[in-house]
Structure 1
Amino acid sequence: MHRRRTALALSAALAAAPLLTACGGSAHAGAAAVVGGQRISVAQLESRVNEVRAAQRAAATDDAQYRQTVAQTSSLTRDTLHTMVLDRVLNRAAKEVGVSVDRSDVEQMRASLERQAGGSKALQSAWLQQYGVAPRRLDDSLRTEVRAQKLASALGVDMNTTDGKAAFWTAMAEASKELDIKLNPRYGTWDVQKSSRVDARTPWVKEVTAAAGQPA
């Protein structure tokens, strides 16, 4: 099937650590991220990752293929958190301009994509392989796709142009700023201007590793 050149597809192109304390207060302990004052717990993140791993395992023909898939998607946890946070940013940006998505919008997109992919199972497989989306989350992912397209339309921008992309991500940056996003340090930090997760620099990891290798 054709790879979709939507806003979220564009965003994709773009060891232990302390619990999240940057936001202050015990209410955020155990959070993978805090977005607009609302927690995404580590347990929620792990559950989503486990859904993908289970789907990948079911799709693999044998253990060797599954291990290869896991190796190829070693950043799955961080990528999944990125998606979970970005969904909330997109939702805020869409609400700012009065964009909403209903079930019929999702059904229409799914029907269209299934025709392109060659059926429901083929679409689920493609979304799992390309975007790390478990089959049970496909409709949620498509809802996000529709919302991104509707946001671009409401902003009056063409995502096929440089100016259009810039305008879209400016709106997303504003939403990111309003939501005051904080990530658990183990998952990096949130770049407001790019509305994207970035890996935090952790030189202490090398220092600790080196120290551990020295003779006592």
Structure 2
Amino acid sequence: MHRRRRTALVLTAAIAAAAPLLTACGHDAHPGAAAVVGGQRITVAQLQNRVDEVREAQRAAVSDPAQYQQVLAETSSLTRDTLHNMVLDRVIHRAARDEGVTVTRKDTQQLRASLEQQAGGAKGLRNAWLQKYGIAPAHLDDNLRLQLEAQKVAARLGTDTSQPAFWKALSRASEELHIDINPRYGTWDVQKSGRADARTPWVREVTAASGGAPVTA
């Protein structure tokens, strides 16, 4: 993807240095769960399957064994980061529901077409999302839909995804969902809507093809 263009993807980082405000779940309370979000379990098996999908895609994208080992080293926190994203996706979806925000299949298809054009094709976009965000190709559309939900929530609040008002909405959604994280994967900070030890707790902001304005509908 061309970094020179204003249509590049922007990572809006949320600082996760504060102590966690929500304690994590343990195996006794939720056996086999990596996390419990809104009373629904994200099982360890589901998490591992998602991680395996990313690893398989990485292996397919990198033919040189030495380069693949470098990829593994650079993504050593993939399991924890993947769980963080799985939980954050549910938080964003809850915030969108609270704000009356919906994203249609057409919205997602239009965004994907725009990003594929920027990335030089479908393969370029798949590789970009895999390398930058650890998103396997099979989950690309789901991720784009959630990106649009985040943008629409921010727009409904009259702000953008870098501002406190947006993160406050995610904090409310986190509280409503009563998130528990298995201790092996860290803890969840309600106020920051992120795993407390996560290095990159982000909401990805996608900019539109015209003028770099956030995608809203």
- Relative to structure 1, the CA distance from residue 123 to residue 103 in structure 2 (aligned partners, 3 Å threshold; closer, same or farther) is same
1:209 match: none
Check 1:119–1:86 CA distance in 2 against 1; reply closer, same or farther (3 A cut).
Answer: same
What secondary structure does 2:159 align onto? coil
**Aligned match of 2:133 in 113, 131, 134?**
131
Q: Which has the higher helix share?
A: 1
SS of residue in 2 equivalent to 1:83: helix
2:9 equivalent in structure 1: 4
> Is it true that 1:179 corresponds to 2:177 in the alignment?
yes
2:155 to 153, 156, 162: 153
Count of residues paired in the alignment:
186
What 5-or-longer segments of structure 1 have no aligned partner? 201-216
Give the match for residue 62 of structure 2. 60
Please tell me whether the aligned partners of residues 20 and 30 of structure 1 are also in contact (alpha carbons under 8 angstroms).
Answer: no
Does the residue aligned with 2:76 lie in a helix, a strand or coil?
A: coil
Q: Name the counterpart of 1:105.
A: 107
Percent identity for Structure 1 against Structure 2: 61
TM-score (norm 2): 0.81
- Counterpart position of 2:186: 188
Q: Secondary structure at the match of 1:81?
A: helix
Cα distance change of structure 1 residues 11 and 32 upon mapping to structure 2, 3 Å threshold: farther
For residue 12 of structure 2, give the secondary structure of its aligned residue in structure 1.
Answer: helix
SS at match of 2:35: strand
Q: CA deviation at 1:158?
A: 3.3
* Distance across 1 between alignment mates of 2:118 and 2:13: 23
Secondary structure of the corresponding residue to residue 195 of structure 2: strand
**Which structure is larger by alpha-carbon Rg, 1 or 2?**
1
State the Cα deviation string for residues 75-99 of structure 1 (Å, max 9, x = none). Answer: 0000000000001101111100100
Give the secondary structure class of the aligned counterpart of 1:113: helix
TM-score computed with the length of structure 1 as normaliser? 0.81
Q: Is the 8 A contact 1:31 1:41 kept in 2?
A: yes
* 8 Å contact from structure 1 (residues 20, 29) kept in 2: no
Deviations 1:150-187 (A, max 9, x none): 11111111346xxxx11000000011011110100000
